[in-house]
Amino acid sequence: MSVAGQRAMGIPVRQREVSLSVVTVAIVAAIGGGLFGYDTGVISGAILYIKREFPIDDTTEGLVVSAVTVGALAAAMFAGVLADRAGRRFTNIAAGLVFAAASLLCAVANSVPTLVAGRFLVGCGIGLTSVGGPMYIAEAAPPRVRGTLVSLFQLAVTIGILLAYVACAILAPAAAWRWMLGLAAIPGLLLAVGMLFMPESPRWLVRRGHRTDARAVLAQIDPHEDPDAALAQMERDLAAEGHGTWGELLQPALRPALLVGIGLAVFQQVTGINAVIYYAPQIFQAAGFTSDLTSLAATTGIGVINVLATFIAIGLVDRVGRRPLLIAGVLGMVAMLAVLGLAFHAGAAGTGASSLGVITAFCLAVYIVSFAFSLGPIVWLMIAEIYPLRNRAQAMAVSTASNWGANFLVSLSFPVMAGRLGSTATSFTYAAFGVLTLVFIIAKVPETKGRTLEEISKLWR
Ligand code: BGC
């Protein structure tokens, strides 16, 4: 029986029930997350064979690898403008088309500049989806399940990373780097075509004055709520807020929210996640897994754990809330980084070298689990939910760009740090950032569980 039917007959409707329509919306938008994960993960395998076909020096290699991050940073800023002017749905369609075209360009590249351009464009797709995906899902989702639905985006990121590890392992014997990079064109098209059939974000429609369309979307995606009441609430809040400008990001009123959004985005990276995700095989080799096969197997294990542990967040984020998960997760990350630092120290001193491999594998596994139920999904979720609609697109763009900027710095500096400072100091550095993250969360990050986006905006006033 339909939800409306249940209501009419006085049958209580379960609060956590969600319409198929809003789940479909979240799943289709999350394809962008899958591409984000796949395209950041695939290069570690592909680069080995690219180097054989085009003999390149270290700097050019760095360029091929990091062009994605630079593209993501640039496009995240642009995504803010696009999401406001052309709509949330269009931003996701554009992301899919850019992914498809850029992946094909990489697959047929016959020179290094073309390849770098292709990877930069892939990065643009990632920048568009990392702003447009979570924003679209958060704006369409009913508050009681918003955390779960936006976490699907992060789940897709982790699945994308895992698929990239698997694709590299399967295609490695044939040295088929063009396939590794080109395969992403298929989900890219799927995202663009799928989004054509999805509704526009009701909040963007209200903002543009399309109230009839907004009401229809609200009725479709959340049959538990009265669409007229939700619409009236959004209109009231928007009338009070008005339309924002980029310049307003500098104004004091927005500062507390921006501090939280940018802080979370940067802390997600400086606690070292991508040192593990991008360099896991090297870390395992440094810890004594000398054969390529065992270090690759251990890396795939990390990918699987990353996917599985994201389900903890999906299940708990709307029940226990954002803050407890963040605090528990970051505590776990700090503890594991500290133990890892001590283990590398003992290994370097010659004591316990034989158990170093086992301790490393254990610490990295628990570190990944802790990240996957906390900073991984919740940062993307909170960036999408903490800003007032008036400035949401611009503020999300700046926060997301900060995330990519920090990602760029960490992935560039990790090999240098590990080489010059050693594994012990590198682990302790990330642990120290973890302690700062913990203090920041406890002092600054509000609980947003169960509140409407409009109620969250009011928290800052
Ligand atoms: C982060 C990525 C990271 C991934 C790992 C995402 O939330 O933004 O930088 O590679 O999680 O699962």
Give the pLDDT score at 444.
97
Q: Does domain 17-198+242-460 have CATH number 1.20.210.10?
A: no
Q: Kindly indicate the confidence band of residue 13, based on its pLDDT and cuts at 50, 70 and 90.
A: very low
Give the mean model confidence (pLDDT) for residues 432-438: 98
Tens digits of residue pLDDT in 96-108: 999 999 999 999 9
Report the alpha-carbon distance of residue 30 to residue 322 in Å, rounded.
20
Give the pLDDT score at 11.
47
Give the pLDDT score at 357.
84
Report the alpha-carbon distance of residue 368 to residue 158 in Å, rounded.
11
Share of the chain above pLDDT 70, in %: 94
Q: Kindly indicate the confidence band of residue 44, based on its pLDDT and cuts at 50, 70 and 90.
A: confident
| Closest by CA position to 91, among listed 102, 105, 80, 101 | 80
Determine the angle formed by the axes of helices 58-85 and 43-53, rounding to 10 degrees.
Answer: 130
Q: Tell whether ligand 1 has an atom less than 6 A from the beta carbon of residue 306.
A: yes
Give the pLDDT score at 2.
44
> Which amino acid appears at position 244 of this protein?
G
Give the mean model confidence (pLDDT) for residues 341-356: 76
More confident call, 59 vs 240:
59
Residue 332 has pLDDT above 50, yes or no: yes
Q: Kindly indicate the confidence band of residue 58, based on its pLDDT and cuts at 50, 70 and 90.
A: confident
Residue 226 has pLDDT above 70, yes or no: yes
Residue 204 has pLDDT above 60, yes or no: yes
Q: Tell whether ligand 1 has an atom less than 6 A from the beta carbon of residue 157.
A: yes
Ligand 1 atom nearest to CA at 372? 12
Q: Kindly indicate the confidence band of residue 349, based on its pLDDT and cuts at 50, 70 and 90.
A: low
Asked whether the beta carbons of 412 and 329 are under 8 A apart, the reply is: no
64, two tokens: 């091929």
Q: Kindly indicate the confidence band of residue 308, based on its pLDDT and cuts at 50, 70 and 90.
A: very high
Cα-based angle 279, 280, 281 (whole degrees, multiple of 5): 95
Ligand 1 atom nearest to CA at 376? 7
| Closest by CA position to 426, among listed 267, 276, 266, 265 | 276
Give the pLDDT score at 108.
97
Q: How far is the CA of 210 from the centre of ligand 1 (A)?
A: 35
Q: Tell whether ligand 1 has an atom less than 6 A from the beta carbon of residue 266.
A: no
Ligand 1 atom nearest to CA at 157? 12
Convert the chain into a string of H (helix), E (strand) and C (coil).
CCHHHHHHCCCCCCCCCCCHHHHHHHHHHHHHHHHHHHHHHCHHHHHHHHHHHCCCCHHHHHHHHHHHHHHHHHHHHHHHHHHHHCCHHHHHHHHHHHHHHHHHHHHHCCCHHHHHHHHHHHHHHHHHHHHHHHHHHHHHCCHHHHHHHHHHHHHHHHHHHHHHHHHHHHHHHHCCHHHHHHCCHHHHHHHHHHHHCCCCCHHHHHHCCCHHHHHHHHHHHCCCCCHHHHHHHHHHHHHHHCCCCHHHHHCHHHHHHHHHHHHHHHHHHHCCHHHHHHHHHHHHHHCCCCCHHHHHHHHHHHHHHHHHHHHHHHHHCCCCCHHHHHHHHHHHHHHHHHHHHHHHHHHHCCCCHHHHHHHHHHHHHHHHHHHHCCHHHHHHHHHHHCCCHHHHHHHHHHHHHHHHHHHHHHHHHHHHHHHHCHHHHHHHHHHHHHHHHHHHHHHHCCCCCCCCHHHHHHHCC
Tens digits of residue pLDDT in 238-282: 777 767 788 888 888 899 999 999 999 999 999 999 999 888 877
Give the mean model confidence (pLDDT) for residues 152-160: 98
Cα-based angle 388, 391, 397 (whole degrees, multiple of 5): 115
Residue 4 has pLDDT above 60, yes or no: no
Q: How far is the CA of 376 from the centre of ligand 1 (A)?
A: 6
Determine the angle formed by the axes of helices 146-171 and 112-140, rounding to 10 degrees.
Answer: 150
Residue 457 has pLDDT above 50, yes or no: yes
Q: How far is the CA of 14 from the centre of ligand 1 (A)?
A: 33
Q: Kindly indicate the confidence band of residue 57, based on its pLDDT and cuts at 50, 70 and 90.
A: confident
Ligand 1 pocket mutation, candidates 40, 66, 154, criterion most atoms within 8 A of CB: 154
Tokens 């029986």, residue located = 1
Q: Tell whether ligand 1 has an atom less than 6 A from the beta carbon of residue 287.
A: no
Ligand 1 atom nearest to CA at 306? 12
Q: Tell whether ligand 1 has an atom less than 6 A from the beta carbon of residue 273.
A: yes
Q: Tell whether ligand 1 has an atom less than 6 A from the beta carbon of residue 158.
A: yes
Q: Kindly indicate the confidence band of residue 352, based on its pLDDT and cuts at 50, 70 and 90.
A: low
Tokens 């007959």, residue located = 9
| Closest by CA position to 35, among listed 191, 176, 150, 178 | 191
> Which amino acid appears at position 90 of this protein?
F
Tokens 């298929």, residue located = 186
Q: Tell whether ligand 1 has an atom less than 6 A from the beta carbon of residue 277.
A: yes
The whole-chain average pLDDT of the chain stands at 90
Ligand 1 atom nearest to CA at 41? 10
Asked whether the beta carbons of 448 and 385 are under 8 A apart, the reply is: yes
More confident call, 122 vs 173:
122
Give the pLDDT score at 3.
45
Q: How far is the CA of 36 from the centre of ligand 1 (A)?
A: 9
403, two tokens: 């995330």
Q: Tell whether ligand 1 has an atom less than 6 A from the beta carbon of residue 407.
A: yes
Which residues does 291 contact at the CB level (< 8 Å), separation at least 6? none
The answer to whether the pTM exceeds 0.85 is yes
